[in-house]
Structure 1
Amino acid sequence: MERIPQVKPVRRRKANRRALVFLALFFLSLATFLFVRSPYSKIHAVHVTGTHLLSPGEVIRQSGLVPGHTLILFSADRVRERLARLPEVKETAVAWRWPNEVEIAVTERAVLAYVVQNGQHVPLLEGGVLLFHRAGKGPYVDLPLVTRWEEPRRLPQLAAGLTKLPAAVRERLSEIQLVPTAAYPDRVRLYTREGFVVYTSLAHLADKLAALPQLLDDRLRENPQERGVFYLFDAMWYEGTAKTADE
């Protein structure tokens, strides 16, 4: 005689599982509801680090994060996208810190020089970005001034060369001018803080100027009173009598 399968225990197990799922969803919904109604669901504070050109307030306004707003819709990727629209920003790191604080670490583009336009000093950033809205607002004592530059399209090339130079080299420069010739349409004239003049090209800027501190120091040791001209092209030479006029 065949045995009839028992189905009641199977149905009971399925019912128990459905009840457990229902209870789990209920408590999850209740926890979500309580969290949303609690102070911990709201942004308590936004902390900003790494700013120099920008103020923390400017970063927070651009981020869209406002203390008191809900954390439920917080998205680090969305905040980074918003901050990337600021020309001063190179990259950012955004993180939520338990229980209800947000940290934004900003890496700004370096200020390489100040371009003198209409009597104002416009910051030139790496990447060739000009910050016209910050003209005259920054300290430009330790950065070179670009005082004669008739071809704005070559500013990104200048920025690229300056970016590759160590800060110790850039700090020795006081002024940069574009003085093209038929042979070198990208020729530049640079003045050092010690009073020397340097001629090179934008194409040679990064590799030739890397040796400039050593060249200056050697010349100052040999003759502390002399201020001459360095020519740093495919060939490199020095003339003891300073020339400031175009050749």
Structure 2
Amino acid sequence: MQEKMPVLREPVKRRRGGKKLLVVLLLLFIVILGVLFFNSSISKVATVTVEGQNYLQAGSIRKTAGVAAGDSFFRVSSRTIEARIRTLKPVEKVTVTKSFPGSVTIKVKEFETVAYALSNNGELTAVLANGTNVPAGTDPVVDKPILSGWKTDDPVLASLCKALAAIPEPSLSDFSEIKPEPSPSYPDRIKIYTRTRFEVITAVSLLSEKIPTMNAVIEIQPPGIITMLLADKYAPFFPETEVNTTTVQKETTQ
């Protein structure tokens, strides 16, 4: 006799409605937490600190950064803030650090001061290494050369500022005044007056490489005119024979 095969029953399908409801409730809970978080004070900017500026005002930097207390902490990235601040001409470098919760620190490095100049209003301005003029403030220590006779749109002026930034501080502080004296051969020719009473004639394009020569002359020679162009020349203001004659006359009259 043939054995009868048992009838296989179809498996009972479990209802998944409970799991779906749990997932929906979990997502709703996350959404509610997110809304509460982003509307709470912990997700807001509490302080914006500006450091390192010399000529720029902290308020001006904050305004350019576009970040203020009460703004969303996550709304703007550090790179975006840095890009905004770099549009300020005196700024050479900037670093923005965001520390949760609510702290934003902006560290600014301005271009170096290489000279000073007088504005059209007669006010003293500081000239930075990139050629930018900024107010020098009250009672500044004028330990850099004064730029006189320059036009603000002179392309040589920008090159001069860049060259001055590369000069060692002792040499730069000895410069008292720099004037343009262009010639057909040297459109960027300049005249420098030093605090050690020398007159130096050179070109902006040659300035950096000629500094050692200038220093060597100043150290061993009396005040005079130093010419450093294609060839280097030196001439004292008073020839040695004239100096000796003057000395003898003084001794005779005493």
CA deviations on 1:81-139 (whole Å, 9 max, x unpaired) are 321221111221112112111011111122221233433333322222334xx266672
Work out which of the residue numbers 112, 122, 130 in structure 1 matches 2:133: 130
CA distance in 1, matches of 2:176, 2:88: 28
The answer as to whether partners of 2:48 and 2:67 remain within 8 angstroms in 1 is yes
Corresponding residue for 2:232?
236
TM-score, structure 1 as length reference: 0.79
Q: CA deviation at 1:78?
A: 2.6
Change beyond 3 A, Cα 1:183–1:98: same
Unaligned ranges ≥5, structure 1: 243-247
Change beyond 3 A, Cα 1:4–1:92: farther
- How many residues matched? 231
Q: How does 1:1-247 map to 2 (within 5 A)?
A: 8=13, 12=16, 16=19, 18=20, 21-118=23-120, 119-131=122-134, 134=135, 139=140, 141-149=142-150, 152-209=154-211, 212-216=214-218, 218-219=219-220, 226-241=222-237
Percent of pairs identical after alignment? 29
TM-score, structure 2 as length reference: 0.77
CA distance in 1, matches of 2:8, 2:216: 100
CA deviations on 1:51-104 (whole Å, 9 max, x unpaired) are 001122221122121112222413223322321221111221112112111011
For the residue of structure 1 that corresponds to 2:76, the secondary structure is coil
Q: What value does the CA root-mean-square deviation take over the aligned residues?
A: 2.9
For the residue of structure 1 that corresponds to 2:69, the secondary structure is coil
The answer as to whether partners of 1:113 and 1:143 remain within 8 angstroms in 2 is yes
CA distance in 2, matches of 1:238, 1:27: 85
The answer as to whether partners of 1:60 and 1:66 remain within 8 angstroms in 2 is yes
Is 206-215 or 231-240 further displaced after alignment? 206-215
CA deviations on 1:181-217 (whole Å, 9 max, x unpaired) are 233222111111222111110110122125544543x
The answer as to whether partners of 2:183 and 2:189 remain within 8 angstroms in 1 is yes
Unaligned ranges ≥5, structure 2: 239-254
The answer as to whether partners of 2:116 and 2:142 remain within 8 angstroms in 1 is no
CA distance in 1, matches of 2:104, 2:48: 5
CA distance in 1, matches of 2:108, 2:29: 39
Change beyond 3 A, Cα 1:147–1:23: same
Look at both structures and tell me which one has the larger radius of gyration over its CA atoms.
2
